[in-house]
Amino acid sequence: MLDTPPRPDDSDVLLRSGIAALTPYTPGEQPQGGKWIKLNTNENPYPPSPAVARAIIATTTDRTLAKYPDPLATAFRMRASEVLGIDPEWIVCGNGSDDLLTILVRTFVGSGECLRVPYPSYILYRTLAGIQGAHCNEFPYKRDWTLDEAFAVPPADLRLAIIANPNSPSGTLLSPSRIKDLADRLPCALVVDEAYADFSDTNCIDLVRQSKQIIVTRSLSKSYALAGLRFGFAIAQPHIIEQLRKVKDSYNCDTLSIAAATAAIDDQQWLAANRKAIIATRQRLTDAMRALGFQAQESQANFVWCTHPERPHKPFYEELKKNGILIRYMRYDNWGDGLRITVGTDAEIEAFVNCMKTL
């Protein structure tokens, strides 16, 4: 009779050093089922352009899905190139902009080297550095969410810097001239994570033409209402794009997502109307929170960062949850905590504000 082999423990399976100790990135709650008002993960509250459904169905009516996808998502790059005024050779696509961030960190930051990011910001950057065995240097924002010039003074072994612009959780924006100034002084590439730029007054696409060091990433998750689809892209000069293409998975975007993303970016009328609605509701949300005694940060994104001068923040999150409303409670070590509220529909924000009034 054969003995069943013992289950290996961590030390037996020979994990790469650092992996077992890694803190996993935890995204906001995604409850399955139930009727929630979800104001916690910066999703768009409206359905995507109707052109998206038509494009997806069109891929299913012939042999299209029997074939491998286009590894370079050329249809999307051509359309995005016209919309953004950027050559298609300056664009690389990915499975959400998180995929692009992974590719960028893998391309630029090796084991023992350094990634610099502002803090508090998108926590995934830290995880990506950790997977590489790299060091994540978190550089604190000033209290008014501006960034000290010393951000450009490199720590040892600095290989890449990433700035979310607009930033999460604050919704604040650094001007393109500020970004250009930092990039000019940094000794490495600077990624401007523009996941929310469609909601802001300015963006850094023009800077990519002026600087060999600036890389912009974009997402269709938030502004095009396609978080479930997974599609994002990066814009950089061709010498960088060429390297990123080597590092990415060959088929990192599937046929359905390429077709859907192409249709979505083609519908700029939809984007303009959606942006207008979100920005109007954002103002209502900001005003309502101020009327309730919160400090609500002026936002350039589709969420608003709120703190209260006296009351603890977490109970608001907990009480709202009991009432079927999810927002994001954020606590940052050595910084503080607060509430990040996604801009929903007017009706959702009204329900949220009414619930807040009872607390």
Ligand X SMILES: *Cc1c(COP(=O)(O)O)cnc(C)c1O
Burial class (CB in 10 A: 0-12, 13-18, 19+), 237: middle
- Region 279-318 residues binding ligand X, contact defined as CB under 6 A: none
What ranges in the chain are assigned the alpha helix state H?
50-58, 74-84, 97-108, 124-131, 176-185, 205-210, 238-247, 255-266, 268-291, 314-322, 346-358
**CA neighbours closer than 13 Å in the CB half-sphere of residue 233:** 27
Instruction: Pick between residue 25 and residue 36 the one whose CB is nearest to ligand X.
Output: 25
Strand partners, 163: 192
For residue 103, the minimal CB distance to ligand X (Å) is 12
* 271: three-class secondary structure by DSSP: helix
Cβ contact 206:90 at 8 Å: no
**CA neighbours closer than 13 Å in the CB half-sphere of residue 236:** 25
221 belongs to the binding site for ligand X (CB under 6 A): yes
43, 113, 138, 193: which one contacts ligand X (CB under 6 A)? 193
Instruction: Pick between residue 98 and residue 356 the one whose CB is nearest to ligand X.
Output: 98
Q: Which stretch binds ligand X (CB under 6 A): 61-69, 90-98, 306-314, 315-323?
A: 90-98
Structure tokens at 258: 């390429």
Q: Which stretch binds ligand X (CB under 6 A): 93-101, 134-142, 241-249, 288-296?
A: 93-101
96, 120, 171, 344: which one contacts ligand X (CB under 6 A)? 96
Distance between CA atoms of residues 272 and 302, nearest Å: 14
For residue 187, the minimal CB distance to ligand X (Å) is 24
- Region 226-255 residues binding ligand X, contact defined as CB under 6 A: 227, 232
Cβ contact 6:109 at 8 Å: no
Instruction: Pick between residue 152 and residue 301 the one whose CB is nearest to ligand X.
Output: 301
Q: Which stretch binds ligand X (CB under 6 A): 80-88, 108-116, 154-162, 219-227?
A: 219-227
Instruction: Pick between residue 147 and residue 288 the one whose CB is nearest to ligand X.
Output: 147
40, 44, 49, 97: which one contacts ligand X (CB under 6 A)? 97
- Region 152-171 residues binding ligand X, contact defined as CB under 6 A: 164, 168
Instruction: Pick between residue 227 and residue 256 the one whose CB is nearest to ligand X.
Output: 227
- Region 322-351 residues binding ligand X, contact defined as CB under 6 A: none
**Contacts by residues 134-141 (CB-CB < 8 Å, ≥ 24 positions apart):** 134/105, 134/109, 134/110, 134/159, 140/334, 140/335, 141/167, 141/170
- State the pairing for strand pair 135-140/114-119: parallel
Angle between helices 346-358 and 268-291 (to 10 degrees): 10
For residue 1, the minimal CB distance to ligand X (Å) is 51
173 belongs to the binding site for ligand X (CB under 6 A): no
For residue 97, the minimal CB distance to ligand X (Å) is 4
For residue 354, the minimal CB distance to ligand X (Å) is 27
Distance between CA atoms of residues 167 and 150, nearest Å: 18
Which sign does the torsion angle of CA 252, 253, 254, 255 carry?
negative
C-alpha dihedral over 26, 32, 35, 40, to 10 degrees? 10
192 belongs to the binding site for ligand X (CB under 6 A): no
108 backbone dihedrals φ, ψ, rounded to 5° = -105, -30
76, 90, 119, 122: which one contacts ligand X (CB under 6 A)? 122
The CB-nearest residue to ligand X is 96
# residues near ligand X by CB under 6 A: 13
132, 211, 219, 262: which one contacts ligand X (CB under 6 A)? 219
195, 244, 253, 264: which one contacts ligand X (CB under 6 A)? 195
* Binding residues for ligand X (CB under 6 A): 42, 96-98, 122, 164, 168, 193, 195, 219, 221, 227, 232
